[in-house]
Amino acid sequence: MALKITDDCINCDVCEPACPNTAIFQGPEIYEIDPTRCTECVGHFDEPQCRVVCPVDCIPLDLLHVESPEQLLDKYRRLTASADTPAR
């Protein structure tokens, strides 16, 4: 599953730089997570880094974007493969 940020977010700015997939961005009112880029840090870390650094525990699983560990790993591979491809 991807993760999401709830309305409990205090905009402390610590989650965005912690995300290795650049899935976190400043939304109109609070930070948001792009589910197409969120791998829950699969492939990078043993646990989601945004959840590790969040001081208010406002980053639960996003039940609207259910993915298996295998799907998250595939997404990680696609994201990192495109980053490794040289520009033409």
pLDDT at 88 over 60: no
Q: What pLDDT digit, counting tens, does each position of 32-60 carry?
A: 999 999 999 999 999 999 999 999 999 99
Mean pLDDT of the chain: 93
User: Is the pLDDT assigned to residue 81 strictly greater than 90?
Assistant: yes
Residue 59 CB neighbours (<10 A): 23
Smallest CA-to-CA distance from 4 within 53, 52, 50 is with 50
Tell me: pLDDT of 76 over 90.
yes
Q: Full-prediction pTM beyond 0.85?
A: yes
pLDDT confidence band for 85 (50 / 70 / 90)? low
Question: How far is residue 8's CA from residue 14's CA, in Å, rounded to a whole number?
Answer: 14
In order of their start, the domains of the chain are 15-84 (3.30.70.20)
- Dihedral-angle region of residue 74 (phi above 0 means left; psi in -120 to 50 means alpha; beta otherwise): alpha
